[in-house]
Amino acid sequence: MARLPPLAVASGALLLLFVSVSPCRAAAGGGPSSVVLPVSKDDATQQYVTMFRQRTPQVPVKAVLDLAGTMLWVDCDAGYVSSSYAGVRCGAKPCRLLKNAGCAITCLDAPSAGCLNDTCSEFPKNTATSVSTAGNIITDVLSLPTTFRPAPGPLATAPAFLFTCAHTFLTQGLADGATGMVSLSRARFALPTQLADTFGFSRKFALCLPPASAPPSSSLATRPTHFHNQDEAIAMQ
Ligand SMILES: *[C@@H]1O[C@H](CO)[C@@H](O)[C@H](O)[C@H]1NC(C)=O
């Protein structure tokens, strides 16, 4: 499958859309009233993939959608370069809120996103292969487009989006180019929940997942009126 250019989407692909329950309040606070992500289907794996931007300087990250899971995980071994990541300390509130969290006390390698002392850890899982591992919980900048048509942008930025750092082997079995999985579950730190907390959205989203290379044939939406085009697919408000 051809690589998608950053935050662009092929014809027939889908969108992930998150909308504020109170656009006036969000606008008054300077925050976005919605965010919209592209979704496309990877023909080879039948997985649904999305794109967002992360880190400083920002880079595009391609990740597979997971309706389960506890939070976003990405490969922090291969080429994770950022000046804005920070580990979540073992005693910090997010760590206490996570049922399955552990504590990575000491890492003797050179400090990096995946190697930090006194850092909360969790068990990111590749739900396509059922392989799981332990990884640091860290925060970093995450940017998502607020509109999609006629062109992506402007970006809404969550300065400290929480996710788990996985090792490269966990990405085996994911769609070509994907370096992680996005959790769309109800969990405390899943994508919809964190975006709701960050931008004042409610914890609802809508989703349409048509077959590859075909117009959308089915949808799941809390407010279908937010689908402006046939190929817009996931909405949250
Ligand atoms: C963690 O602490 C140990 C012992 O103080 C130190 O040797 C090591 O370099 C530290 N690791 C990181 C990643 O900072």
Which domain does 125 fall in, by range?
A: 13-234
Instruction: Kindly state the tokens that stand for 207.
Output: 């989703």
Does residue 19 lie in a domain region? Answer: yes
Choose among 35, 82, 88: nearest CA to 226: 35
- Among the atoms of ligand 1, which is closest to the Cα of residue 111? 13
- Number of structural domains in the chain: 1
pLDDT tens for the chain, 237 residues long, are 333 333 333 333 455 666 655 444 444 456 788 888 888 889 899 999 999 999 999 999 999 999 999 999 999 999 899 999 999 999 999 999 998 899 999 999 999 999 999 999 999 999 999 999 999 999 999 999 887 667 766 899 999 999 999 999 999 999 999 999 999 999 999 999 999 999 998 888 877 675 665 443 333 323 333 444 434 444 444
Q: Could you tell me if 230 and 216 are in contact, meaning their C-beta atoms sit under 8 angstroms apart?
A: yes
Provide the CATH number for the domain around residue 76: 2.40.70.10
Does residue 7 lie in a domain region? Answer: no
The protein residue with its alpha carbon nearest to ligand 1, atom 13, reads 111
| Pairing between β-strand 14-19 and β-strand 234-236 as defined by DSSP bridges | parallel
Report the distance separating Cα 155 and Cα 35, nearest Å: 8
Report the distance separating Cα 17 and Cα 148, nearest Å: 9
Does residue 64 lie in a domain region? Answer: yes
Instruction: Kindly state the tokens that stand for 10.
Output: 């092929």
- Among the atoms of ligand 1, which is closest to the Cα of residue 115? 13
Does residue 168 lie in a domain region? Answer: yes
User: Would you say the CB of residue 118 lies under 6 angstroms from ligand 1?
Assistant: no
Does residue 8 lie in a domain region? Answer: no
Does residue 5 lie in a domain region? Answer: no
User: Would you say the CB of residue 104 lies under 6 angstroms from ligand 1?
Assistant: no
Does residue 2 lie in a domain region? Answer: no
Does residue 17 lie in a domain region? Answer: yes
Look-up of token digits 């994770």: 80
